[in-house]
A and B are shown apart, each in its own frame.
Chain A
Amino acid sequence: MAAEREPPPLGEARQPELEELEDGEDLFTSTVSTLESSPLSPEPASLPTEDISINSNGPKPAEIILDDDREDLFAEATEEVSLDSPEREPILSPDPSPAITPVTPTTLVTPRMESKSVTAPVIFDRSREEIEEEANGDVFDIEINVSDPEKVGDGMNAYMAYRVTTKTSLSMFHKNEFSVKRRFSDFLGLHSKLATKYLHVGYIVPPAPEKSIVGMTKVKVGKEDSSSTEFVEKRRAALERYLQRTVKHPTLLQDPDLRQFLESSELPRAVNTQALSGAGILRMVNKAADAVNKMTIKMNESDAWFEEKQQQFENLDQQLRKLHASVEALVCHRKELSANTAAFAKSAAMLGNSEDHTALSRALSQLAEVEEKIDQLHQEQAFADFYVFSELLGDYIRLIAAVKGVLDHRMKCWQKWQDAQVTLQKKREAEAKLQLANKPDKLQQAKDEIKEWETKVQQGERDFEQISKTIRKEVGRFEKERVKDFKTVIIKYLESLVQTQQQLIKYWEAFLPEAKAIA
C-alpha cells in the first residue's frame, strides 16, 4: 500500500535537523504524553523506536515530529524502509532478510492512528512498553556476565561451556535475572545471525571473539597448565565484552535472536561456524570475492563526510595496530621481569641462609621476601596491561574492521543502484528500438520491463540513502562509545599503575629499617 509521494528534495541541510530532532526532547514529550507515560530521559540514542521512526522517513525529518503533521506522517510512513523492525517479523533464519520492510513509524508515534497502521498491533504494544521503559531511563539496564567456564565432554569432542547471566529490568525479557549455558560456537552463531541481518544495511555489529584452533585443542586435550587456564580466561573475558557491546547497541538489543541467546535454555547448535565446515569454506570464498569486488568499485563519493570517515578509520586502524603491538611487547616483558624477580628472590633467600652474620642474613631474607612480593605485583600489573589495555585495543581493531565493512556495504549498495540505472537505460533503448521496428507484442514486454527496472532504480536509490543515513547514525554512536570506552580504560589502567607504585612504596618502606638494622 505504498502511497506514491515524491519526497521533497533533500539537501545536506536537513541532516542537522534530523540530529537535532533526535536530541530533542520535544519529539517524545509530545508523543509520550499521549501514551500516558512518565517523564522521559533525554537520551535519544538509546531509543530504538526513535531509530525506526526517523530512519524510515528518510528525507523528511521535519515532518515526522510535529503532532500536527500526523496525517502527513502517516501517509508518508508507507514509503519506506527500515530493517530494524525485527519485532514485527521475527527473523530467525540465517538468510539475509529482504533489505526493505515497510515500516509505519506512526504506529509508535501516534497511537490514535493505530487503526490505519499497516502493521500488527501486537508489535506496537510492545514497542509502546519499551518507549515507556526507555522513557523511564532504564534503557541500558541490562548487565551481562560470562562466568564459570566448564569443560564438557572428553577428547576432541570436548568443549567449554560458559555461564551467561543476565540481570535486567527491561520488560522484553521474561525474567529479571536469568542465566544459561553457552558454548563458544553459540556466540559465533549469534554473531553470524546478527551480522547477516544488520551489517548490509549499515549497522555496526560488534565482532565476535576470534577462534583459536591451537588454544582450544590444548584445552580439549586436557592440558591443565597455566597457558590453557590463561587461554580460557582470555576467552571468557572476550565473550563477556562481546555480549556487553552487543546489548549496548539499541537496535541489536531488540533482536529476537539475541533474546533467545540470552534466555533460552536450549539453543539449536550453530553448525555453520565450524572452522572447516562447508559453510566456513564458503564464507572464506565470499570474503575473498568481496575483497576483489571492493577493489573494483570506484564510487563517485558525493558525500565528503563518508570520504572523511573512510580516511579517519583507515588511519585509526593503522595507529591502533601499532599501539597494540607495542603493548603486547610490554606485557611479554613484564611477565619476563616477574619470572626473573621470582628467581632472584629465591637466590637472595639462599644467599641469606649462607650468610654467617646474623643481621645481614636477616636483611637478605627480608630482601628476598620483598622481591617475592614485587614479583606478585609484576604479575598483577601484567594482567592489567593485558586485560585492561591490550584487549581493548584488540577489540577496537576488530570493531573498526566492522565499520569498514559497513562502509563497504554502502559502496556495494551504490553499485547495485548504478547497475540498475544502467540496465534501465538499456531497457529504454531496447524499447525505443522496438517502437521503430513496430513489434507490438514485444513492445508490451519491453514496457513492462522498463516499469520493473524503474522500480528497481528507485529501490536502489532508497536503499542507498537508507544505508547512508543508518551509517551516519551508527558512526556517531560508535564514536561516542569509543570515546567513552577509551577514556574509561585509560583511567582504569593508570589506576592499576598507581596501585603498583603505592605497593612498591609500602614494601620498600618496610624494608628500609631492616637494612639500617645491619650492624
Chain B
Amino acid sequence: MEEPMEMPPGEESKVEISDAVSERDKVKFTVQTKSSLPHFTRPALSVVRQHEDFVWLHDTFSENDEYAGIIIPPAPSRPDFEASREKLQRLGEGNSTLTREEFAKMKQELEGEYLAIFKKTVAMHEVFLQRLAAHPVLRRDHNFYVFLEYDQDLSVRGKNRKELLGGFFRNIVKSADEALITGVSGLKEVDEFFEHERTFLLEYNTRVRDTCLKADRVMRAHKSLAEDYIPISVALSSLGTQEVCQLQMSFLKLAELFERLRKLEGRVASDEDLKLSDLFKYYMRDSQAAKDLLYRRLRALADYENANKALDRARMRNKEVKPAEAHQQLCCQRFEQLSASAKQELTDFKSRRISAFRKNLIELAELELKHAKASSLLLRNTLIVLKGDA
C-alpha cells in the first residue's frame, strides 16, 4: 500500500513480518530485519512482537517532542477476528436448516474470510514498520531499534487506567486546541501554504472518513451476495439430481455456474476491500496524523506569539529581559523548525497519497476487469452448453 521513501545509499534497512500466528486472542508477529546499519549487533534480526508492542512504539513517537514536526505513521488497528469468529461459531452451533453441502461451503467461505482478515492485519502492521524504516529521522529512533532487536518480550503492559484516562484528557485538550486549527482562536496564519493545507486537510479528513464507511458497506453487501449463491447452488444441484432428464443437465450446469460465480463475486468483494476500503481507511488515519502535525505547529506558533508578548512586557518593565529573550528565541526556533519540517512532511504526504491512490485505483480497475471478463466467459460458455441442449 505504501512506497517507502528513497533511502540514502549505504543505509539499507529492510523490515518485514515474515510470519504470524494466531493464538487465542493474540496475534504474534515475527518481525525480521535485515540491516547494514552499524547500530544493530547483527545484520539479520528476528523477534516476536504483539499488537500492543506496535501501539507502544507509535505512542513513544507521538509523545516525543523531537518528532513534533513529523507526521507520525498511524498505528495499525487491532486485529479483529471477532465478527469472523462469531460467524464461524454460529455456523458450528448446528444450524439444522443447512444441508451438509451448504454447511461445508459456508465453512469454506468463512475460513477464507478469516484468512483474509489475518493477511490484512499482517500487512497493516508491516506497512507501519516499513514506513518507519523509510523515514530518515524516525528510523534512527532508539525505541525503534529496541523494538526490532530486543529478543525478549517487550512486556509492554496494556495502559493502566490512569494512563488511559490521561490519554483521554489529552485528546480533549487536543480537540479544544483544534479551535486553533480551525481558526476560531484568531491566531493569524501568515503562511499561505499552511493556510491552504489546513483548509484542505480539515475537509479531506471528514470526507475520506465517510467514503471509507460507504466503501465498507458496499464490500459487505457484495459478500452477502456471494454468500447467497451457496444455497442457490445447492438447491439447483438437488433439483438437478431429482429432475426429469430433460431438465437435469440445465439444473446441474446452473448449480455449477453459481458455485463458480460465488467465488468470483467473493474475489470482487475482497479486492474492493483491499484496494478501496483499506486505502480510504489508511488515508483517514494518515490525514488525521497530518492534522495532528498542523495542530502541533500552531501550538508552537501560539507559544511563539505568547513568548513575543512576554518579551514585550519584559522590555516595557525592563525586568528579566534576558530570560524572556532567550525563551522567545527558543520558541521562534522551534516554530521555524517545525514549520520547515512540516512543510516537507506535508509535501511528502501529498505525493504519498497521490501515488497510493493511483496504484490502488489502477489495480482495482484491472482486477474488476479481470473478474468481469472471467464471469462473462463463464456465463457465455454455460449458455452455449444450455442452448445446445435445448
Which A residues lie at the B interface, using CB under 8 A?
315-316, 319-320, 322-323, 325-327, 329-330, 333-334, 336-337, 340-341, 343-344, 346-348, 350-351, 353-357, 359-360, 363-364, 367, 479, 482-483, 486-487, 490-491, 494-495, 497-498, 501-502, 504-505, 508-509, 511-512, 515-516, 518
For the complex, give the distance between the alpha carbons of A316 and B373 in Å.
35
Q: Is A319 within 8 A of B242, CB to CB?
A: yes
Q: Is B244 within 8 A of A498, CB to CB?
A: no
Q: For the complex, is B73 an interface residue (Cβ under 8 Å from A)?
A: no
Q: Is A483 within 8 A of B246, CB to CB?
A: yes
Nearest-Cβ distance from residue A313 to partner chain B, whole angstroms:
11
Other-chain residue from B215, B221, B368, B379 in contact with A336 (beta carbon distance below 8 A): B221
Nearest-Cβ distance from residue A333 to partner chain B, whole angstroms:
5
Residue of B nearest to A350 (CB): B207
| Interface residue ranges of B215-257 to A (CB < 8 Å) | 215, 217-218, 220-222, 224-225, 228-229, 231-232, 235-236, 238-239, 242-244, 246-247, 250, 254, 257
Q: For the complex, is B190 an interface residue (Cβ under 8 Å from A)?
A: no
Q: Is A329 within 8 A of B217, CB to CB?
A: no
For the complex, give the distance between the alpha carbons of A344 and B273 in Å.
13
Q: Is B235 within 8 A of A326, CB to CB?
A: yes
Cβ contacts under 8 Å, A360 to chain B? 353-354, 357-358
Cβ contacts under 8 Å, B358 to chain A? 360, 363, 515-516, 518
| Interface residue ranges of B345-390 to A (CB < 8 Å) | 350, 353-354, 357-358, 361-362, 364-366, 368-369, 372-373, 375-376, 379-380, 382-383, 386-387, 389-390
Other-chain residue from B214, B218, B244, B369 in contact with A483 (beta carbon distance below 8 A): B244
Residue of A nearest to B241 (CB): A319
Q: Is A347 within 8 A of B210, CB to CB?
A: yes
Nearest-Cβ distance from residue B358 to partner chain A, whole angstroms:
4
If the complex has contacts A356-B200, A508-B372, are A347 and B207 also in contact, measured as CB distance less than 8 A? yes
Q: For the complex, is B289 an interface residue (Cβ under 8 Å from A)?
A: no
Nearest-Cβ distance from residue A314 to partner chain B, whole angstroms:
11
Cβ contacts under 8 Å, A344 to chain B? 211, 214-215, 217-218
CB-based closest 6 A-B pairs: A337-B221, A501-B376, A515-B361, A323-B235, A344-B214, A326-B231
Q: For the complex, is B208 an interface residue (Cβ under 8 Å from A)?
A: yes
Q: Is A333 within 8 A of B379, CB to CB?
A: no
Q: Is A505 within 8 A of B373, CB to CB?
A: yes
Cβ contacts under 8 Å, B369 to chain A? 505, 508-509, 512
Q: Is A334 within 8 A of B225, CB to CB?
A: yes
Residue of A nearest to B231 (CB): A326
Q: For the complex, is B204 an interface residue (Cβ under 8 Å from A)?
A: yes
Q: Is A337 within 8 A of B222, CB to CB?
A: yes
Q: Is B362 within 8 A of A516, CB to CB?
A: yes
Interface bits B47-82 vs A (CB < 8 Å: 1, else 0): 000000000000000000000000000000000000
Q: Is B236 within 8 A of A323, CB to CB?
A: yes
Q: For the complex, is B192 an interface residue (Cβ under 8 Å from A)?
A: no
If the complex has contacts A487-B390, A491-B383, A494-B386, are A323 and B222 also in contact, measured as CB distance less than 8 A? no
Q: Is A486 within 8 A of B379, CB to CB?
A: no
For the complex, give the distance between the alpha carbons of A479 and B246 in Å.
10
Most buried by A among B200, B257, B365: B365
Nearest-Cβ distance from residue A407 to partner chain B, whole angstroms:
17
For the complex, give the distance between the alpha carbons of A360 and B208 in Å.
14
Q: Is A490 within 8 A of B254, CB to CB?
A: yes
Nearest-Cβ distance from residue A202 to partner chain B, whole angstroms:
21
For the complex, give the distance between the alpha carbons of A468 and B373 in Å.
53
If the complex has contacts A333-B228, A355-B204, A512-B369, are A348 and B244 also in contact, measured as CB distance less than 8 A? no
Seed contacts A341-B221, A344-B214, A501-B372; 9 additional CB < 8 Å A-B pairs? A316-B243, A333-B225, A340-B218, A479-B244, A490-B254, A494-B383, A497-B261, A498-B379, A505-B373
For the complex, give the distance between the alpha carbons of A28 and B232 in Å.
46
Q: Is B247 within 8 A of A322, CB to CB?
A: no
For the complex, give the distance between the alpha carbons of A482 and B246 in Å.
10
Q: Is B232 within 8 A of A505, CB to CB?
A: no
Can you list 20 A-B contacts (CB < 8 A)?
A320-B239, A330-B229, A333-B228, A340-B214, A341-B218, A347-B211, A347-B213, A348-B214, A354-B200, A363-B361, A486-B247, A487-B390, A494-B379, A497-B375, A498-B379, A498-B380, A504-B368, A505-B373, A508-B365, A511-B365
Q: Is A490 within 8 A of B224, CB to CB?
A: no
Other-chain residue from A330, A343, A356 in contact with B214 (beta carbon distance below 8 A): A343
Q: Is A487 within 8 A of B250, CB to CB?
A: yes
